[in-house]
Amino acid sequence: MLRLGVLVSGGGSNLQAILNGIQEGIIPNTKVVTVISNKPYVYALERAKQQGIDQFYFDPASYPTREAYDQALVDYLNKKEVDLVILAGFMRVLGENFIHSFPNRIMNIHPSLIPSFCGKGYYGLKVHEAVLSYGVKITGATVHFVDTGTDTGPIILQKAVPVLEEDTPEILQKRVMEEAEWKIYPKAIALYAQGKIKIEGRIVKTDF
């Protein structure tokens, strides 16, 4: 049984897509054992609570340093015997110690086709605003392993989504979520659960 720890900061629609994937059997032999937020009262925690899943708000203000906060997360995830850490809209940079505690065992989803519109400053609606002002005709989403850079880790899956002339950042964000994020995140976790992911340097192979 693959044990997931999901880190969130907001609405948790990707968390929901993962829970649905597990329930529908698309993600086999997998369980979400804890959902952790760095923000209080977010709907993602409510979703976990409704399903009887352990959920926890870790308040950054209760820790003296960033390292202490990250260590508290590592300790808790280890206590829950988490195999794979899933960042699902977690809006906080994790330090090197956290990353090194779970080598190639942290996944993230980014709402663009990496390496476009990613890195420092590209988060949430800002990504979609940048896509629209650049005028690209295709965007999408990327699931990748997390390394110590921002959005630089090995890419697992990507899915393209068209940009339409009448799009606003909000409309585009919704399309990218519905047509890409909620599909490829469960799929990437399913591949991992089935042992179908092989990492060679920064190249991820899923078809071997």
Instruction: Say which DSSP state 154 is in.
Output: P
Q: In the bound complex, what is the minimum distance in angstroms from residue 106's beta carbon to ligand GRF?
A: 13
- Cβ atoms of residues 139 and 117 within 8 Å: yes
CA angle 76, 42, 40 (to 5 degrees): 60
By CB under 6 A, residue 14 contacts ligand GRF: yes
Window contacting ligand GRF (CB under 6 A); options: 32-40, 107-115, 130-138, 153-161: 107-115
CA angle 39, 41, 45 (to 5 degrees): 85
Cβ of 93: how many Cβ atoms within 10 Å? Answer: 10
- The residue from 21, 27, 45, 89 that contacts ligand GRF (CB under 6 A) is 89
Residue count of the chain: 208
- Cβ atoms of residues 140 and 160 within 8 Å: yes
Nearer to ligand GRF, 47 or 204 (CB): 47
Q: How many residues bind ligand GRF (CB under 6 A)?
A: 14
- The residue from 12, 21, 140, 186 that contacts ligand GRF (CB under 6 A) is 12
Which position among 100, 110, 128, 144 bears the catalytic label? 110
By CB under 6 A, residue 139 contacts ligand GRF: no
DSSP-derived secondary structure for 101-135: HSTT-EEEEESS-TTSS-STT--THHHHHHHHHHT
Q: In the bound complex, what is the minimum distance in angstroms from residue 188's beta carbon to ligand GRF?
A: 13
CA distance 144 to 147: 9
- Cβ atoms of residues 177 and 171 within 8 Å: no
Q: Which of residues 174-203 bind ligand GRF (CB under 6 A)?
A: 177, 181
By CB under 6 A, residue 37 contacts ligand GRF: no
Distance of CA 61 to the CA centre of its chain: 23
By CB under 6 A, residue 60 contacts ligand GRF: no
Nearer to ligand GRF, 57 or 78 (CB): 57
Window contacting ligand GRF (CB under 6 A); options: 75-83, 104-112, 147-155, 190-198: 104-112
- Catalytic, 144? Answer no
**Any idea which residues carry the catalytic annotation?**
110
**Which residues of this protein are in contact with ligand GRF, per CB under 6 A?**
8, 10-14, 44, 88-89, 109-111, 177, 181
